[in-house]
Amino acid sequence: MAERTTARTTDAARPPEFEQGSELVTPVVAWYRTAARDLPWRRPDATPWAVMVSEFMLQQTPVVRVLPVYEAWLDRWPTPAALAAEPAGEAVRAWGRLGYPRRAQRLHAAASAIEEDFDGVVPDTYEDLASLPGVGEYTAGAIASFAYKKRHIVLDTNVRRVLARAVSGVEYPAPSTTPADRRIATALLPEQPADAAEWAAASMELGAVVCTARTPRCDECPVASLCTWVAAGKPAYDGPPRRGQTYEGTDRQARGRLLAVLRDTHGSVPREELEAAWTRDVAQRERALSSLLADGLVVVLDGERFALAQ
């Protein structure tokens, strides 16, 4: 797989973007060393488990919302074994309002697998990481890179946006990771594992705080003079329609309201309490409840009482 390429990239194998794109690495890393946010999962004392927890929490959730939950989580569960020893429902409860609560369920399952299959130690290889519940291509590469300083491409939305603009000259990347994304990222990857890990963090940070989706701050960008998109006059995106992030009135909001009632109650609640939590659309509420049951986040007890799954 492309994200696990560790052999030296030969001149013959380099894509045409490489010669221009390779100039990006040094200034972006230099910028990162002075401008990076001080985040707990980046500190030298962060454990591989702490890095793993951060990667699960940061999926589709901004840093400012993650920080308090992350710190409370690690205070309570500083190791995979500590989390695995408690019911999955407690992980969902502690997840609070981060959203996408199945991530909590999957993180608990991953902790259980680490305890059972890896003697309680977060594995350090891409293959072993990818075998864990809830760990896909991006997350496996990110944990291997950030926790163990391994040489892997790390392609989240922020990195793909940086590469789309700076190298490919388009405003936004494709909706999901493409072979072209992997090819460009692999070609840019520094040879030394520690350098590759730092570049992964630096390009991600650049996309998160400077090369942002809606209002890129090109005047603050360390590689604006090298950016193909800037050089082309910042042409507007003309690809497939981009999905919005509408939340108000959605099934996801309804699920969140129902789950909040269950999360804030130790024990079960009657159906009437769930009905009171979402009154604007009865059919939507029932659909949301059915999906929570189908996802294994909620269980029904004694016919008409509901609780977080344990």
Q: What is the 3-state secondary structure (H, E, C) of 176-188?
A: CCCHHHHHHHHHH
CA 104 from centroid of its chain's CA atoms: 13
CA distance 310 to 301: 12
User: Residue 238 is which amino acid?
Assistant: D
Backbone torsion region of residue 120, taken as left when φ is above 0, otherwise alpha when ψ lies between -120 and 50, otherwise beta? left
Contacts of 58 (CB under 8 A, 6+ apart): 66
CA distance 264 to 193: 44
H-helix or E-strand containing 305? strand 305-308
* Pair of tokens at residue 180: 């072209």
Neighbours of 16 (CB within 10 A): 9
Q: Which residues on adjacent β-strands are paired with residue 307?
A: 299
Query: Considering 3, 55, 90, 171, which one is annotated as catalytic?
Result: 55
* Pair of tokens at residue 105: 């369920």
Q: What backbone torsions phi and psi does residue 176 show, to the nearest 5 degrees?
A: -135, 165
CA distance 108 to 134: 10
Is 55 designated active site?
yes
Neighbours of 168 (CB within 10 A): 17
CA distance 213 to 149: 28
Residues marked as catalytic = 55
